[in-house]
Structure 1
Amino acid sequence: MRIRDPAAADETGWRRLWAGYLAFYGEDLAEAVTAATWRRILNPASPVFARLAEVDGTLVGMTVNVLHEGTWTTAPICYLEDLFVAPEARGAGIGRALIADLVAMGKARRWSRLYWHTKSENVQARRLYERFVAADDFCRYRLVL
């Protein structure tokens, strides 16, 4: 397995993973949103970036992340917004490797922290996440505008 930055040629493979991720969460995004997300991922000036896990030339996992500033630190903060591993590739440590990749990247680039969230009933993901850190006691509030 290799974890790497995406290239323009990865769009089809990324879209397959993205579609699986959206289906898992029961989301139906407009094509314009998916296309804009891919453009942001490829734009080096964008705070949105992705990492791809590849096995034998096939994309099997991805993260989509947002690097941003904060008010409690002067160092950048990374929000791991989306993580997905293709169903046929699960159980091989790909999710763990994708998170470990971001941890290593964050240490090397001196980010102040890496954070993410998931639904409380996503037990499988929570088992993986808690290998890195315990969940905190914050509640998320989301107001759609």
Structure 2
Amino acid sequence: MTKPAPFIRDATAADEAAWRGLWAQYLAFYKVELADDVTAHTWARILDPSSRVAMRVAEVNGVLAGFAIHHFHDSTWVKTPDCYLEDLFLDATYRGRGIGRALIDDLIAIATAKGWSRLYWHTDRDNATARKLYDTYAPEDGHVRYRLKLC
């Protein structure tokens, strides 16, 4: 029996509880704890049409299976904006079904339609499952990220 294809769409206010459940799993995967007000602020920005932060969700049979939080920004290397896929996550139940690929392909289509130059993302070196998918799009570019915590 074939699995139903995901329905990819913008997040809505009605998605909050399901997203928070997925978000908690995502943070647990990366062994990160965030203050509740940071999560609330992220959600508010996702829903704010004037914010650059946006989220696409994958729905399967009415269940939120995963999300892709992204935003665009100007670049000094190209004339049009870049799109940064900041957070991509799927509930374990839905992995291996092409939903992660569907979310990335959806962002590629959005970025292309808006005339943005590039789509990029980061993942942990040891995230072999995700890297197996990501490597089908492009080889990793050899950059090492440095992050200073300022507050």
Give the TM-score, by structure 1 length.
Answer: 0.98
Read off the aligned partner of 2:55 and give its amino acid letter: A
In the aligned structure 1, how far is the partner of 2:78 from the partner of 2:48? Answer: 25
Read off the aligned partner of 2:125 and give its amino acid letter: S
Q: Alignment partner for residue 59 of structure 2, among 37, 46, 54?
A: 54
Q: Alignment partner for residue 26 of structure 1, among 9, 14, 31?
A: 31
**Displacement after TM superposition at 1:131 (Å):** 0.7
Structure 2 residue aligned with 1:15: 20
In the aligned structure 2, how far is the partner of 1:51 from the partner of 1:96? Answer: 13
- Give structure 1 regions of 4+ aligned residues with deviation exceeding 2 angstroms: none
Structure 2 residue aligned with 1:69: 74
Structure 2 residue aligned with 1:38: 43
In the aligned structure 1, how far is the partner of 2:46 from the partner of 2:86? Answer: 13
**Displacement after TM superposition at 1:10 (Å):** 0.7
**Displacement after TM superposition at 1:70 (Å):** 1.2
Please tell me whether residue 130 in structure 1 is matched to residue 131 in structure 2: no
What is the RMSD computed on CA atoms of the aligned residues?
A: 0.7
Please tell me whether residue 90 in structure 1 is matched to residue 95 in structure 2: yes
Structure 1 residue aligned with 2:84: 79
Q: How many residues align?
A: 145
Q: Alignment partner for residue 122 of structure 2, among 117, 125, 132?
A: 117
In the aligned structure 1, how far is the partner of 2:111 from the partner of 2:25? Answer: 27
Give the TM-score, by structure 2 length.
Answer: 0.94
Structure 2: gaps of 5 or more residues: 1-5
Name the SS for the 2:83 alignment partner: strand
In the aligned structure 1, how far is the partner of 2:65 from the partner of 2:90? Answer: 6
Structure 1 residue aligned with 2:3: none
